[in-house]
Homo-oligomer: A and B are copies of this chain.
């Protein structure tokens, strides 16, 4: 992945799309979020969601999956061009996760990540702090998911 110096506010990556089938929604829910509207079509229809709805943790985990795939793709392309690949630090967490609209069985969510702020780290001058807004949009163009992620990107010239 890229070094801190190469990252600028507004840079956007399209991460790809994922279709939440009824089968996948139920499989995730049975393991991690066994509420009835995530497990059963009729219970979903009778809920505020109006249909079998994916667990919000499923929607977030799929975003992670596509972020990792994108980072790996980017790293391969940089390696192929002979460029050095930066190793990012572990994420300390994130802020402002929002489940804006339900994700229902059959919905295809397209994820993207856009850099919202960059700043140097006072405590650790060899790292920069990047905040990116990760979003998921459904097939009707409606925003369903948003998360403000924090990450540490290494500087090319450390100190």
Contacts and interface: CB of A to CB of B under 8 A. Distances in A.
Interface stretch (A9-17, A94-102, A125-133): A94-102
Interface residues of A, number: 30
A92 B104 CA distance: 16
Contacts of A61: 31-33, 57, 61
Interface stretch (A48-56, A110-118, A134-142): A48-56
Copies, count: 2
A91 interface: yes
Interface in A81-113: 89-99, 102
A interface SS class: mixed
A93 B99 contact: yes
A102 B57 CA distance: 19
Contacts of A95: 95-97
Interface of A: 31-35, 48-49, 55-57, 60-62, 64-65, 68-69, 72, 89-99, 102
